[in-house]
Amino acid sequence: MIMSATIYRYNRKPNLQIDYQLLFNELREACFPTFKYKQGNCHNIIHYCSMILTSRGIAHKKIWFFAPSRLSLDSKVCISKPDPNHLAPSGSLRWGYHVALLFEDGKNCHVFDWMINENEPISINDWVMSMGLSNYKIDIVDPSNYLFFSMSEYAKKQERKGFEYFRYEGECKENHWIPKGLALNETAYEFFQNESGILEKDTLLSRDYRILVGSVINFECVIRDYDFNKNVTLKFQAKYFELIEKYRYVYLLKLNKWISHLDYLNL
């Protein structure tokens, strides 16, 4: 079953004589290398690029893709894609949702999604097909919508018909959600590059490294939140204390950089 798109129109002048490949390249450079880590934070990457476009007065929208796991409590079906970095312990990325930039150019549409295609814009059809699901929901929304609210307990008992979005303001802006997401991805990619000699092997050590960095939830828990869970326990973290402290410091440096980038946009 293919669920129809929800489209929110807003008054903006159409983009005139835009070189979409050039714009794609400029935004790719602006958010590099955050999209190289594929485990998560697509919404933060896309909203940062959206803020750049808004500051330049370039009309655009966001296109959201929701897997069945985000639509129904009874489903565990996610977007599943091979992890090109071979970081995911299972070998596959699992996304409950995904988001990209959308540009309308007359009868043509251009999707910018560097996690899916780093080289060029793609069509909506190619973008949807890349998710590999036949049952899904698509929303096309105003770019000021930063993220959607989690399902309420009531909504979890029913198939979700629509998503309620919120803007990047208040708590999420004050607590630097976007810089934190971008800094985490950049730190994870630096981990991948620096520790590649270990990660490319199949040993107990490499498996532990993948537990830490191959899951965005685990990496956020340890590096960003100074917390623990059942996968990255206090014992696990004590075993890799120096490694973790090294990348916590890297993360803080990246975080300050991305905070400065957003402050410059002043949006």
Return the domain boundaries, the chain: 6-172, 177-265
Confidence band (pLDDT; 50, 70, 90) for 6? very low
What distance in Å separates the CA atoms of residue 98 and residue 79, rounded to the nearest whole number? 9
Is the pLDDT confidence value at 4 over 70? no
Per-residue buried b or exposed e for 223-249, using 16+ beta carbons within 10 Å of the residue's own CB = bbeeeeeeebeeebbeebeeebeebee
Residue 108's alpha-carbon distances to 25, 147, 157, 190, in angstroms, are: 19, 26, 38, 37
Per-residue buried b or exposed e for 108-118, using 16+ beta carbons within 10 Å of the residue's own CB = ebbbbbbbbbe
Neighbours of 30 (CB within 10 A): 13
Q: Is 159 helix (H, G, I), strand (E, B) or coil?
A: coil
Cβ atoms of 90 and 212 within 8 Å: the answer is: no
Q: Six-digit token pair at 169?
A: 């303001």
Please determine, looking at this structure, whether the domain spanning 6-172 carries the CATH number 3.40.50.261. Answer: no
DSSP element (H, E) containing 51: helix 42-55
pTM of the model: 0.92
141-193: pLDDT as tens digits: 999 999 999 866 556 555 666 789 999 999 999 999 999 999 999 999 999 99
DSSP element (H, E) containing 81: strand 79-82
15-74: pLDDT as tens digits: 568 999 999 999 999 999 999 999 999 999 999 999 999 999 999 999 999 999 999 888
pLDDT given at position 7: 33
pLDDT given at position 153: 54
69-124: pLDDT as tens digits: 999 888 999 999 999 999 999 999 999 999 999 999 988 999 999 999 999 999 99
pLDDT given at position 227: 98
